[in-house]
């Protein structure tokens, strides 16, 4: 029998970084705060990004088959918070955030520690998220610093 409270408690102890996932579909761009992200392979370099299937960004990744992950710095909790709400509710999330378009055409946060851009090479739809596997096609470092971790924010996602 599954102990729901034990499951929730233990799953929330898995450490997660916080990233802004930049997406595009044609000329339209969007971004969202992602936390279910990890490296999946050295050769080829792969990143795993789990995206809520009900989000508009999910549809954009499915259409374009690309995404970018901007790695946030430990002091950028407010920036992460700007990208939590759906675009359909808050409008252009990039309006007050400096960004540029990478090689894939996806938005990258200028003030992030750095980024990777990925081309989707596989996906698995299970439950309420899709696991997108992206091959890293571009990467860059903007500056040094420690990454923002979910546990440091006091927020919880998952469990």
CATH number of 107's domain: 2.30.110.10
Q: Count of domains in the chain?
A: 1
SS3 74: coil
Q: Rounded to an integer, what is the distance from CA 88 to the centroid of its chain? A: 18
In a domain, 3, yes or no: no
What pLDDT is attached to residue 127? Answer: 93
Please list the ranges in the chain whose pLDDT falls under 70: 86-91, 157-159
> Model confidence over 7-19: pLDDT tens digits?
888 888 888 899 9
> Model confidence over 15-51: pLDDT tens digits?
889 999 999 999 999 999 999 999 999 999 999 999 9
**What does the alpha-carbon distance between residue 50 and residue 20 come to, in Å, rounded to a whole number?**
13
Instruction: Tell me, letter by letter, the H, E, C secondary structure of 128-149.
Output: CEEEEEEEEEEEEECCCCCECE
In a domain, 14, yes or no: no
């Amino acid at each position: 029998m599954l102990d729901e409270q034990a499951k929730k408690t233990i799953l929330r102890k898995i450490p997660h970084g916080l990233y802004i996932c930049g997406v595009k579909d044609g000329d339209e761009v969007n971004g969202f705060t992602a936390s279910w992200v990890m490296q999946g392979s050295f050769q080829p370099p792969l990143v795993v990004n789990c995206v809520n299937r009900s989000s508009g960004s999910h549809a954009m990744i499915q259409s374009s088959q690309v995404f970018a992950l901007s790695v946030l710095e430990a002091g950028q909790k407010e920036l992460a918070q700007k990208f939590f709400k759906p675009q359909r509710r808050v409008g252009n999330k990039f309006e007050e955030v400096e960004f540029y378009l990478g090689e894939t055409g996806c938005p990258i946060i200028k003030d992030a520690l750095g980024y990777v851009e990925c081309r989707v090479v596989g996906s698995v739809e299970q439950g309420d998220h899709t696991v997108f596997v992206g091959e890293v096609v571009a990467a860059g470092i903007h500056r040094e610093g420690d990454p923002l971790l979910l546990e440091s924010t006091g927020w919880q996602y998952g469990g």
